[in-house]
Chain A
Amino acid sequence: MDIQDTNTFGDEDLVKKVQHQNDMYAFEILVKRYQNKVYNICFRFMGDAHEAFDCAQDTFIKIYRGIRSFRHQSHFGTWVYRIAVNTCKNRLMSWEYRRTKKTGHLGEVPGELKGDSISPADEFAKVRIQERVQEAINMLPFDQKQVIILRDIQQLSYEEIEKITGLPSGTVKSKIARGRNKLKETLKDLKNEM
């Protein structure tokens, strides 16, 4: 059975192939499956296409290095997100990044955007709003940023967020609430567009 032709191989099967047979093809399938999710998380964290690219690449390299230590006690996707979040966190906290601190601007082409085909004017207005939202996210403290991204962008459950962040349930909820309130305050000048 060709693993590329079908989706019959779940993440766990592919991970086992990599773990036991060092199957690079199986790992490539996993990269293909998670590349957009990981890149999107990285982009929302970093607010910059180049930084997102580097972080996403580092994330998959770390996944490959550590895949033999993955014990299948959680979903593979949860493990991938956790590595992605930690990679971005390390990068954001790094001296090098803070020295050349960048604010996210969607003016740079961030890979490929998914969206409906609309008029150029509407497209411009939409992009402008998206830029403002991303800037607002960038201004959040990291602990609020991570739960907002995981909950409101990645649409993950509270349980998954707890596993990824390692925070207790109540903390996650409170940080989500604070983060949302802060975003509302930041974006209140967009109330006409809302």
Chain B
Amino acid sequence: MKCKQIQEILPEYLEGVVSEKQKKKIQQHLETCRDCSEHLRLLKKTINLVGNLPEVCAPAGFVSGVMEKIQEKHARKSRIGLWLAGIAFAEVVILFTNTSSQHPYQKEIAKQIDHRPAQQIQQKKEKLETKEEKGTTIAYREKYKQPLASANRPALDLTGIGEKRKTEIVIQLAAYKVSEVASSEKRKNANEPMPEEEKPVAKDEIQPFARSETAKSMVGSESMKAPVSASAIKQEKFSIDSDIKRQISSINGKILSEQETSDTEIRRVITAEIPGSSYANLIENLREKFQIRNLTSLKDMDVSDTQITIKIEIFR
């Protein structure tokens, strides 16, 4: 073996990792070659120099520094985890809020649509259709799709809007009050006798089934028992009917029908249509002159914008 080859494997020879054959050859060469022997000596010294380098110890506080650094990184990681968790929670809340409530503009439009009449909704639909025909963007249609859909909800009944409501009322009138009788112009018939079965009543006392103005005017008089003439009764009935009709006319009411009945109690039925705003005045006027036996209750009802059909039943 040449010196170069020997010197190349000398480190391995020192390590003892060469074969026995190589080891013998190297030993034979080293006995005769001074250069290679010197090379081996320097190599051993080099290995010793490197191997004898002192172990450099970690400076004081190295362990605590490492542990602090780890704790610090661990805490930072936990904070980041908390932040991420917080962000995730916020996103969930936002998502939930968005899905559980409408967008503000949707709410506003739906609110407006809910309170506008059907005619306006129809106009809006037509407007949208016109715009679609003209190639309006899809976004415009999407914007109004939701509110228009909500306008068609069953709860929103707009069919009656624009028409006045109608209410039918039945008023049963007996006859003139006693007080009215006293001041009536028809007092000229006062001398006519009352039916025998009639009993005297005190002044201002309501006489439910008084038959006639004349009879009432005879309260306390001896001529009560005198028979009532047919013409007087006829005139009294006419007076009642005309008085009622006059009162209806005075409140801009309209007589729809007027007919005699064959009923044993109700003599005549007058049907009229009056504005709801005048209903209270009519009833008040009727109460002043007549005894109202029965009246359809309008309690808690707002009839101000209602067209009322009244059916006045006049007792015999």
Chain B nearest CB: distance from A6 CB in Å? 18
Q: A188 to B42, alpha carbons, bound, how many Å?
A: 8
Chain B 244-288: CB-based contact to A (< 8 A → 1; otherwise 0): 000000000000000000000000000000000000000000000
Return the contact of A57 from the options B9, B42, B43, B69 (Cβ within 8 A).
B69
Return the contact of A32 from the options B47, B63, B69 (Cβ within 8 A).
B63
User: Within residues 12 to 31 of chain A, which ones have a CB less than 8 A from any CB in chain B?
Assistant: 24, 27-28, 31
A130 at the interface (CB under 8 A from B): yes
- Most A Cβ at <10 Å: residue of B17, B42, B65: B42
B66 at the interface (CB under 8 A from A): yes
Interface residue range, chain B: 20 to 34
B135 at the interface (CB under 8 A from A): no
Q: A79 to B50, alpha carbons, bound, how many Å?
A: 24
B202 at the interface (CB under 8 A from A): no
Interface SS, A side: helix
Which of A33-41, A69-77, A89-97 faces chain B?
Answer: A33-41
Q: A95 to B69, alpha carbons, bound, how many Å?
A: 24
Chain A 110-147: CB-based contact to B (< 8 A → 1; otherwise 0): 11111100000000000001100110010000000000
Interface SS, B side: helix
Return the contact of A56 from the options B53, B54, B58 (Cβ within 8 A).
B58
Q: A180 to B8, alpha carbons, bound, how many Å?
A: 10
User: Within residues 136 to 185 of chain A, which ones have a CB less than 8 A from any CB in chain B?
Assistant: 137, 148, 152-153, 155, 158, 173, 176-177, 180-181, 183-184
Known: A24-B67, A35-B63, A56-B62. A176 touches B50 (CB 8 A): no
B45 at the interface (CB under 8 A from A): yes
The closest CB in chain A to the CB of B41 belongs to A194
Whether the pair A184, B67 counts as a contact (CB closer than 8 A) is no
Return the contact of A53 from the options B9, B59, B67 (Cβ within 8 A).
B59
Whether the pair B45, A194 counts as a contact (CB closer than 8 A) is yes
- Most A Cβ at <10 Å: residue of B7, B56, B66, B73: B56
The closest CB in chain A to the CB of B8 belongs to A177
Q: A43 to B62, alpha carbons, bound, how many Å?
A: 14
Chain B nearest CB: distance from A140 CB in Å? 10
Given A114-B55, A133-B50, A180-B11, 13 new contacts (CB under 8 A)? A24-B67, A27-B70, A35-B57, A36-B58, A53-B59, A129-B49, A130-B53, A133-B49, A176-B11, A177-B8, A180-B46, A181-B8, A191-B45
Closest 3 CB pairs of A and B: A194-B45, A177-B11, A39-B58
8 examples of A-B residue contacts, CB within 8 angstroms: A31-B67, A49-B56, A57-B62, A61-B73, A111-B58, A113-B54, A152-B51, A173-B12
